[in-house]
Amino acid sequence: MPRPTRRVPLARAMITAPQPEAVEAGAAVLSEGGNALDAVLACALTQGVVDPMMCGIGGLGTMVLHDPASGRTEVIDGLSTCPAACADDMWAADFERECADGYGYVVKGGVNELGHRAVTTPGILRVFAHAHAQYGQLPWARLFAPAIAVAEQGWMIRPHVATMFTLDETAVGRLPMVAKLALTADGRRLYLRADGTPKRPGDTVRNPELAATLGGIARDGAESFYSGAIAARMVADMAAHGGLLSAADLAGFKPRLSRPLDITYRGRRLAVPPPPAGGIVLAEMLRILERFDLTALGHNSADYIRIVAEAMKIAGADKEAHIGDPDFVPPPLAMLLSDAYADRQAARIRAGEKAKLTRVGADSKDTTTISCVDAAGLVVSLTHTLGVPSGVIPPGSGFMLNGAMNWYDPRPGRPGSIAPGKRRFSSLTPGIIFEGDTPVMTFGAPGGAWIGVALLQVVLNVLDWGMGMQEAVSAPRFSATTDEIDISNRIPRAVQREVEAMGYTVRRWPQSYPFAAPHGITMWDGVLEGGADPQRDGYVAGISSAPPRNPGIA
């Protein structure tokens, strides 16, 4: 008797993200005839509703996009800027310490993390507006419909949202998340139970104010946020509470358009965002590791972990020393990515030398990502975030503003110090991999300083080890963002003992899927395969049927 065969139509388009409602929104747009950019915007706007501490219209982000019609690959950078009212020494006397895990800085009273003085100029809606004007296919207003519907009808607290709501990082220097949820009356009403505790899995959140705000942006465009009625509401709230953000900051914000930072690895080209985004860290690690026959070592063997971890530490230390806002600190990219420099660093690793990396300063883990490809070959990768949520919800608006001043070093004279109009280094690293001129993979991840090290391992898993995308994002990971090596609980203890015998301190994490949350899509030979990190609540959606001839979208 012949074996039964499961016939699954090949997907003609695909999207993956960490939130199920957001993936559903993007997939619906693809099914109705929208392209990958349309789907990513619908997905991202919905993410801002259902993951309110991770992202939203009060946040920032970076997009990498490849347009097959023009052959152009473009980076649209919406990383936030310090308000003009900032001064480099305004918190110097109140500086206490760096956060123990490297995610930000502790200032007396937490004013750089919680409340109105923590807010930087939000940039993400400018990214959305520019990308839609250049590449969008469906009407702008249509892309807001799923997010508006979810905000009006309500959404259910999922496990990962509940984890974020109850997160308490006082031990490392950050305020507990409940302090952000409880800062404003609107936050308490939306996200807390009657007893003052965060809502739990299965509880419902309805946010009609956010639905109205999104409806206004859908109708009037992004300018309503930057110079219209929504801007006026934000500025009035800032003035009432001693905030730094001004009308001029909002009106003057423009996204940065650039070519990606391109490198080759094993004959394939990676396109990642240049500084102040995090592509340089991934690029430098790959340049160093190309000097090694990694597959001869065995996947996640002790020798493999040692070599890859040393590349992580070298790139992390170089980022700390050299990378900030290029407008303020020109980065030595040619040197860091040169053959000669990669050869020297590889030689250090072969000689058994241990790089020093006391701590990595980076953005928060409160971030999310989307990857999408459509039938015409348009590829979009977006990572966006609130940085550290400020807790500030402008009255009646329904959305939270970022608290990304926490990223800036309160000590003057450093690459990451405070300055008016300055962008801070961000680990955000959405990217696309090409074989020749053909895109074959897109990737991105939330996870702060872990983004680069997690995406490195996903890229190695696919390009060196031949894994499919779901296997690549699910495989056990490790991290070296300090002198210690952190490992997943699924890496064998015998391997841990071998690494420790090499003179390393190894910390075993209780989670099975720690260190960022990569998502992505491979496109080998035109066959789409997506991967969604199992630690988050999202999934991969493939669209196999052709869109209707007349989708009837208003």
d(CA 326, CA 425): 9
Token pair 């995090």 is found at 278
- Pair 227, 323 in one domain: no
- Pair 266, 324 in one domain: yes
Cβ-contact 495, 489 below 8 angstroms: no
d(CA 123, CA 141): 19
- Pair 343, 489 in one domain: yes
DSSP E strand stretches across 218-365: 256-258, 261-265, 268-272
Asked whether residue 344 is assigned to any structural domain, the reply reads: yes
What pLDDT score does 478 carry?
Answer: 97
Alpha-carbon dihedral angle through residues 384, 388, 394, 397, given to the nearest 10 degrees: 40
Q: Which of 367, 368, 429, 442 is catalytic?
A: 367
How much is the CA Rg of the chain, to the nearest whole Å? 22
To which H or E segment does residue 366 belong? strand 366-373
Asked whether residue 73 is assigned to any structural domain, the reply reads: no
Asked whether residue 543 is assigned to any structural domain, the reply reads: no
What pLDDT score does 180 carry?
Answer: 96
What pLDDT score does 554 carry?
Answer: 30
Asked whether residue 190 is assigned to any structural domain, the reply reads: yes
Asked whether residue 3 is assigned to any structural domain, the reply reads: no
Measured from the Cβ of residue 368, the count of other Cβ atoms closer than 10 Å reads 30
- Pair 454, 312 in one domain: yes
d(CA 234, CA 421): 18
Q: What does each of the 554 residues of the chain score in pLDDT, given as a tens digit?
A: 444 444 446 889 999 999 999 999 999 999 999 999 999 999 999 999 999 999 999 999 999 999 999 999 999 999 999 999 999 999 999 999 988 766 789 999 999 999 999 999 999 999 999 999 999 999 999 999 999 999 999 999 999 999 999 998 888 778 999 999 999 999 999 999 999 999 999 999 999 999 999 999 999 999 999 999 999 999 999 999 999 999 999 999 999 999 999 999 999 999 999 999 999 999 999 999 999 999 999 999 999 999 999 999 999 999 988 888 899 989 999 999 999 999 999 999 999 999 998 754 444 556 899 999 999 999 999 999 998 999 999 999 999 999 999 989 999 998 889 999 999 888 899 999 999 999 999 999 998 889 999 999 999 999 999 999 999 999 999 999 989 999 999 999 999 999 999 999 999 999 889 999 999 999 999 999 999 999 899 999 999 876 554 333 33
- Pair 45, 126 in one domain: yes
- Pair 321, 211 in one domain: no
Full domain range(s) for residue 314: 258-362+429-537
- Pair 476, 402 in one domain: no
Residue 94 sits at the vertex; the CA angle it makes with 91 and 97, to the nearest 5 degrees, is 105
- Pair 242, 206 in one domain: yes
What pLDDT score does 546 carry?
Answer: 60
Token pair 């897109």 is found at 442
Count up the domains in the chain and report the number. 2
Determine the residue type at 270: L
d(CA 531, CA 522): 9
Measured from the Cβ of residue 216, the count of other Cβ atoms closer than 10 Å reads 17
Token pair 């952000």 is found at 180
Of 248, 245, 213, nearest to 397 by C-alpha is 213
Kindly list the strands in the beta sheet with 519-522, ordered across the sheet, starting from the edge strand earlier in the chain.
261-265, 268-272, 431-435, 438-444, 519-522, 529-532
Which region, left, alpha or beta, applies to residue 448 given φ > 0 means left and ψ of -120 to 50 means alpha?
left
What pLDDT score does 362 carry?
Answer: 46
What pLDDT score does 363 carry?
Answer: 47
- Pair 114, 188 in one domain: yes
What DSSP state is assigned to residue 156? E
- Pair 131, 34 in one domain: yes
**HEC letters along 383-397:** EEEEECECCCCCCCC
Cβ-contact 487, 508 below 8 angstroms: yes
Q: Is 367 one of the annotated active-site residues of the chain?
A: yes
- Pair 185, 201 in one domain: yes
Out of 340, 374, 407, pick the residue that ends a domain: 407
To which H or E segment does residue 151 belong? helix 145-153
Asked whether residue 455 is assigned to any structural domain, the reply reads: yes
